[in-house]
Amino acid sequence: MYDALMRTVLRHVPSEPAHRAGFAVVRAVGGAPAVGPRVAGRLAPADPVLRTRALGLDFAGPLGLAAGFDKDARGVLALGRLGFGAVEIGTVTGRPQPGNPKPRLFRLVEDRALVNRLGFNNAGAADVAPRLAALRAHPVTGMPVLGVNIGKSKAVPADDAAADYRASAAALGGYADYVVVNVSSPNTPGLRDLQQVEALEPLLTAVREELDRVTGDRRVPLLVKITVDLSDDDVDAVAALAVRLGLDGVVATNTTVSRAGLRTPADAVAALGAGGLSGRPLAERAQAVVGRLRGRLDERQTIISVGGIEDAEGAYRRIRAGAALVQAYTGFVYGGLLWPSRLHRELAALLRADGFTDVAQAVGVDAP
């Protein structure tokens, strides 16, 4: 029914207003005191085969919501009640920023894909911090693992990037279960240049130092998010850096600037303009990056795979390639409110069919 609605109605509603309306429904249903717990009782992952231990944390299920959907942490609990084992908020920047001019979010329905050039539109770390503090002050059953994704403020020059990321880590790190440094969006000028090892190392070192300062005895896991567009050599370089710095893991991968192999007519794609492409077209390369990372990272380092995951089979392939956790954004947009619960249920069946009693047993069994 949701697919039919997407084909006939939602595809004709501009994407960003549709997102706001859909997110309002999520918050109204999942966040309501009377209704939310009943929603969680039906949809939150409860099958023991789905329980996942990664990053020193316990996840009720391996599927999380990728950064970009809940930029300002306005629906964390509601999204967890729909069935996500983790919710990664953000990307949050040190300074508030409106993002790029609208329209800036577009659907490619034939490709089950999105193009966005949002530009890290968010309220800024100082605005998001009290919301996270409130979540931590009043713990609720069913709260998902909370990831915090931080990025560079557009107005901050590259030479000051480390200080900008450090400020966000200081404001938000104390409330996070894990923190992701995003250096891979194509929509902030110069951001992807920070993926080069010589720029990335001091940045990650600064964030690690700040997290340790603000969290004291509690060590917050730190990961870096890379783009699907990195060459194999650059993936290898990031993996080597992650090992050298003792990062807790890598989130792979962010959107692509490529438009190769799309079903949507080329003139229609060109008319949308610049932006990062997400969804089904990323699946093959994202899978390959997971396998490459798994062969180069320390076995204790976690891979979170994102990009083109549409169903349980796709998530299972990433797990068997070496990802302990998976994330989705576009798959959720096209799949609808029941999609995360359905994916977890079907993933549990796949795990059991192959004789696994938990996710950890399946991680990396097909790695190169």
> What is d(CA 61, CA 43) in angstroms, rounded to the nearest whole number?
12
Helix, strand, coil share of the chain (percent; to 5): 45, 20, 35
- Return all residues near 175 (Cβ < 8 A) that are at least 6 apart: 129, 132, 133, 135, 136, 146, 148
C-alpha count within 13 angstroms, C-beta hemisphere, residue 71: 18
Q: Give the Cα-Cα-Cα angle 274, 277, 278 (nearest 5 degrees).
A: 155
> What is d(CA 130, CA 172) in angstroms, rounded to the nearest whole number?
9
Asked if the peptide bond before residue 103 counts as cis, ω within 30 degrees of 0, the response is yes
Helix axes 232-245, 197-215, angle to 10 degrees: 30
> What is d(CA 54, CA 310) in angstroms, rounded to the nearest whole number?
22
> What is d(CA 337, CA 40) in angstroms, rounded to the nearest whole number?
12
Q: For the chain, what's the residue count?
A: 368
Instruction: For residue 94, give the 3-state DSSP assignment.
Output: coil
| Catalytic status, residue 15 | no
Token reading at 104: 């800036």
Q: Which of 287, 286, 301, 137 is nearest to 223 (CA)?
A: 301
Torsion of CA 188, 192, 193, 198, to 10 degrees: 130
* Candidates 168, 184, 185, 305; catalytic one: 185
Token reading at 353: 């069919």
Q: Which of 27, 109, 52, 103 is nearest to 271 (CA)?
A: 103
Do 199 and 193 form a contact (C-beta atoms < 8 A)? Answer: yes
Residues designated as active site? 185
